[in-house]
Structure 1
Amino acid sequence: MKNSDINMRSIKDYTQSNRMAWNQIMPAHQKAARARLDEAFKNSSHSVIKSPEMDEWRKLDFKGKDIAHLCCNNGIELMSLKNMGAGHCVGFDICDLAIEEAQHRAMTSNNECQFVCTDVFDISEEYNSTFDIVYITIGALGWMPDINAFFKKVKDILKPTGAIFIYEIHPVTEMLPTDGDHEAHPLQIMEPYFKNEPYEDTAGLDYVGKTDEETSTRYWFVWKISDIMMAIIDQGFNISRFVEYSHDVSEMHSRNQEASKEAGIEIPMSYILVANGSAT
């Protein structure tokens, strides 16, 4: 898909459709997990960030650093970093119900993270050159209709020497059947890697409660590793770390992970990328 011609539709067309779908499915996610998460974060040292991600965070010396989390969902990753000593933390997400949950959890757990409901492409200029690190987590990039415009926004809100931290689903998994596709054999290539149009779907978004609830039409964009890297490089960042992993982080490819291990042919299913800005 060409960034200059996103299927003849505007970025806003896609993001508002996705916003509606997320607001529709969020009650199912909250029914399955909200009470448990609220209880867990009453512990001021609670964190959902584990290895290998935590190992990479330590290398960034993030304590005291100001962090923006784009597509933060219900805020638990950012709240975890705050619990571990991060500085000023702000999460941004387009889903009204996810931000309401994050704000409530932060308030009731005395966690000082702030959460803002906004399309990430519309983040206010008041946040420009504010953050030391921009954090992008699992499943965020697939909702972005324009990867170049997205990383332009990342650059805008970062300080000149700030860093990008990405922990994401590897696009190789997009070629494989999901756990819900029981008729397909694990590791069978079902879709192209070079995908030029977004997927349109109404089912399968409740990866938390595992229900069959549907949403209105939403759009998922498959960005190749080269798309992501070049969008970052084109904004003047230097990629300092790129590590690929054989474990699934999407909660939709456990069958593929197990099958690959059994066959002794582990494939890339997730990755961490760290990039740094330059003052020049």
Structure 2
Amino acid sequence: MDYLAVNRANWDSRAPIHARNYGIDRLLADPSALSDVVRFDLPRLGLLDDLDVLHLQCHIGTDTLSLHRLGGRVTGLDLSPVSLAEARVLAREAGAAIDYVESDVYSAPDALAGRSFDLVYTGVGAICWLPDISRWARTVQALLRPGGRLFIRDGHPVLNSLIVQRVGEDHPDREQQAWITGEGALTPALELPYFEQPEPLLWHSEYSYAGDERVGSPASVEWNHGLGEIVTAVLDAGLQLTSLTEHDSAPWEALPGLMVEDESTGEFRLADRPWRLPASFTLTARRPA
């Protein structure tokens, strides 16, 4: 199975839906507005004045535009040409000079013709599409200048290993959780791999997580990566870990029916004792000078 082709088709079909449901009107109405994801991590990310920034897996460019508004000279990279078309429209309408490159992550050094960057940024919901986290870290290292830094926030691997089920029932397909029907209490269940596995998780989701429209290519392929595997991959690639923060929230309702939204941040956390669940993490590292 060609996982890149499957996932490219999936994201091509999601992109127009997301362009209608990602809060783009707010970003265009206010030249200082940031995406919720970038705004959440602003205390750790800081201003990016005069830095060359690469946003891996940039999708339709809302976070990419936000990085540009923090002062960076930004390049966005994604494997989905339809996503990049939406990102270019957003950048043009916002008056932002952002360069976009079509490529999968592992091919990025070649696609970027050997360019290097002060900051490599990866946002939420990205590394689950990659089969080999060690290869990802080596790719990041190759893209960073000496002294450059990696910044990643993503869903926590504990969260990624959970599904929602009704008490006493067999678990459903995770991608269909938002449409669970019937009666009985909902509960999280630890049913999916926590550690990276050779074989991927195969999903078939008729709907995307943003919006209620059907997607044209519902199949997708994912892998989870344990937090220790991620940290070890970063260290083995020769990067120096500078911070690791776990959060009890994520920027989407990852466990439908069990999470509540914080309206001030747009983040979701468990309604019942949220301190039980690490929902996302932020990791920073630096390539030694």
TM-score category of the 2 structures, normalised to the smaller one = 0.7 to 0.9
Supply the RMSD in Å over aligned alpha carbons: 2.4
| Residue number in structure 2 paired with 1:28 | 17
CA deviation profile, 1:211-234 (whole Å, cap 9, x unmatched): 454625321111111111111111
Q: Secondary structure at the match of 2:8?
A: helix
Per the normalisation by structure 1, the TM-score is: 0.84
Post-superposition offset of 1:118: 1.4
Quick one: distance in 1 between partners of 2:74 and 2:243?
Answer: 23
| Residue number in structure 2 paired with 1:210 | 212
1:228 aligns with 2:230: yes
Equivalent positions of 1:129-168 (< 5 A) are 129-168=115-154
Identity %: 24
CA deviation profile, 1:123-178 (whole Å, cap 9, x unmatched): 25445352100000001000012222222221111102110000100011122225
Post-superposition offset of 1:24: 2.1
Quick one: distance in 2 between partners of 1:211 and 1:114?
Answer: 29
In 1, are the aligned partners of 2:178 and 2:256 still within 8 Å (CA)? no
- Note closer, same or farther for the CA distance 1:181–1:234 as it changes in structure 2 (3 Å cut): farther
| Residue number in structure 2 paired with 1:201 | 203
In 2, are the aligned partners of 1:174 and 1:193 still within 8 Å (CA)? yes
In 1, are the aligned partners of 2:16 and 2:86 still within 8 Å (CA)? no
Post-superposition offset of 1:19: 0.6
Which protein has the bigger helix share? Answer: 1
In 2, are the aligned partners of 1:176 and 1:186 still within 8 Å (CA)? no
| Residue number in structure 2 paired with 1:119 | 104
Structure 2, unpaired ranges of 5+: 165-176, 261-268
Post-superposition offset of 1:261: 4.1
1:191 aligns with 2:192: yes
Equivalent positions of 1:1-280 (< 5 A) are 13-33=2-22, 36-38=23-25, 40-49=27-36, 51-58=39-46, 61-86=47-72, 88-125=73-110, 126-178=112-164, 179-180=177-178, 182=180, 185-194=186-195, 196=197, 197-203=199-205, 206-213=208-215, 215-258=217-260, 260-263=270-273, 265-279=275-289
In 2, are the aligned partners of 1:94 and 1:119 still within 8 Å (CA)? yes
Per the normalisation by structure 2, the TM-score is: 0.82
Structure 1, unpaired ranges of 5+: 1-8
- Note closer, same or farther for the CA distance 1:191–1:67 as it changes in structure 2 (3 Å cut): same
Aligned residue pair count: 263
Which protein has the bigger strand share? Answer: 2
In 2, are the aligned partners of 1:128 and 1:158 still within 8 Å (CA)? no
Post-superposition offset of 1:238: 0.9
In 2, are the aligned partners of 1:82 and 1:111 still within 8 Å (CA)? yes
Quick one: distance in 1 between partners of 2:129 and 2:85?
Answer: 20
Quick one: distance in 1 between partners of 2:10 and 2:120?
Answer: 25
